[in-house]
Amino acid sequence: MTMKLKHKHSRKAGLPPGTLVHIGEKKSDAVTITVYEYGEGQFQERSVAKPDEVILTGEPTVRWVDVGGIHKMEVLETFGKMFGLHPLLLEDIANTDQRPKLDDYGTYGYVVLKMLYEGQHEGDINVEQVSLVFGENYVLSFQENGGDVFQGVKERLRNGKGRLRHAGADYLLYALMDSIVDRYFVILESLGEKIELLQDVCVTNPGPETLRDIHALKRQLLYFRRSVWPLRDLMNNLSRSDGQFLQGSTKVFFRDVYDHIIQIGDTVETLREMVSSMMEVYLSSVSYRLNGVMKVLTIITTIFMPLSFIASIYGMNFEHMPELKSPWGYPAVLGVMAATGLAMLYFFKQKKWL
């Protein structure tokens, strides 16, 4: 889904609450389910065809189930039964029009956030909703398409480097959220570059398409802020919560992500102010050009109107116009005209209109 505001919620209006209806773009591709089971000395990665095969014998320290595709309702319902999830939570996973939030369901928690990544066409920003359900020793992640944002986490799990394999499910939750938030910086950077490009255009060559670009940027920033800002409270709550899942040593990491969100929020505000300034520059650049056009118009009119008037006087057909008979009349009039024109030019030079 590219960055557009769609309110597909209405499809559900009238249905009983808790009804599972996938709200998003209908897709026909299959759902991919990958299970990662790991602990202090173990690691296993399995691709699974049906949700029933997720839990086999043998309980690992941490189990991460990564689900790509949320359009198959029966899959979600099976997960709901297996992990004892609330119907409203399943409804939230299926509805891709969610606002980022954190819900505490007692024995498990639910986080929904927006994953942003650049699309194939330049300037496109793709949005994907990611739902994370986390319990004492498991994390379930639901993506719309199964993008590659979690690729880094998976690599680190596979090669066993860093803290990840030795820590609990709470650290895995952190790693997943951190990898999503890190992507925001990439998007922000590309937005910043677009703004700097547009700023030059505003001064040198403003046109109606500049205006459209400014407003497109404004809307993208608006959407970006909407996606990121709710994470602030969310991360704050996570880093301060006394939940049973989060260990004290992990909280400092969530606080770090919180700091990143604050920093992103600051930068977004700065970019928004820059876009507003840009609008001002655009408008005053257009009006400055209008001014320039007006000056040329005025100068032409002001110089030629008196000259033409003089010429038209001597174009009158009165019988008694003594100047007409004088042999010096013509050159004298031409001289007067030249003098008038030059005086005008001098006047404009002084007024700084030239």
Of residues 120-149, those binding a copy of itself (CB under 8 A): none
Q: Nearest-5° angle of CA 275, CA 278, CA 282?
A: 145
Examine residue 43 and tell whether it contacts a copy of itself (CB under 8 A). Answer: no
> CA 20, 134, 63, 41: dihedral to nearest 10 degrees?
170
Contacting residue, 244, 323, 336, 343, with a copy of itself by CB under 8 A? 323
Q: H-type helices in the chain, by residue range? A: 73-83, 87-94, 151-159, 169-204, 208-228, 230-240, 248-313, 322-325, 329-350
Cβ proximity to a copy of itself: between 311 and 343 the closer is 311
Contacts with 181 (C-beta within 8 Å, 6 or more apart), sequence order: 231, 257, 260, 261, 264
Tell me the per-residue interface mask from 165 to 204 with a copy of itself, x by CB under 8 A, - otherwise.
---------xx--xx--xx-xx-xx--x----------x-
> Given the rule CB under 8 A, which of 34-42, 58-66, 69-77, 215-223 is the region that contacts a copy of itself?
215-223
Question: Helices 169-204 and 208-228 sit at what angle, rounded to 10 degrees?
Answer: 160
**What radius of gyration do the chain's Cα atoms show?**
34
Tell me the per-residue interface mask from 90 to 119 with a copy of itself, x by CB under 8 A, - otherwise.
-------xxx-x-x----------------
Cβ proximity to a copy of itself: between 59 and 196 the closer is 196
DSSP 8-state symbol, 69: -
Cβ proximity to a copy of itself: between 56 and 305 the closer is 305
Minimum CB separation of residue 236 from a copy of itself in Å reads 14
Minimum CB separation of residue 315 from a copy of itself in Å reads 4
State both tokens at 224. Answer: 């970006």
CA end-to-end span of the chain, whole Å? 53
Tell me the per-residue interface mask from 277 to 316 with a copy of itself, x by CB under 8 A, - otherwise.
x-xxxxxxxxxxxxx-xxxxxx-xxx-xxxxxx-xxxxxx
Integer angstrom CA distances of residue 354 from 113, 301, 346? 58, 14, 10
CB 228 within 8 A of CB 185: no
Contacting residue, 156, 168, 241, 340, with a copy of itself by CB under 8 A? 156
Examine residue 233 and tell whether it contacts a copy of itself (CB under 8 A). Answer: no
Contacts with 92 (C-beta within 8 Å, 6 or more apart), sequence order: 98, 103, 110, 112, 131
Binding residues for a copy of itself, how many (CB under 8 A)? 112
Examine residue 13 and tell whether it contacts a copy of itself (CB under 8 A). Answer: yes
Minimum CB separation of residue 48 from a copy of itself in Å reads 26
Cβ proximity to a copy of itself: between 57 and 204 the closer is 204
Cβ proximity to a copy of itself: between 66 and 91 the closer is 91
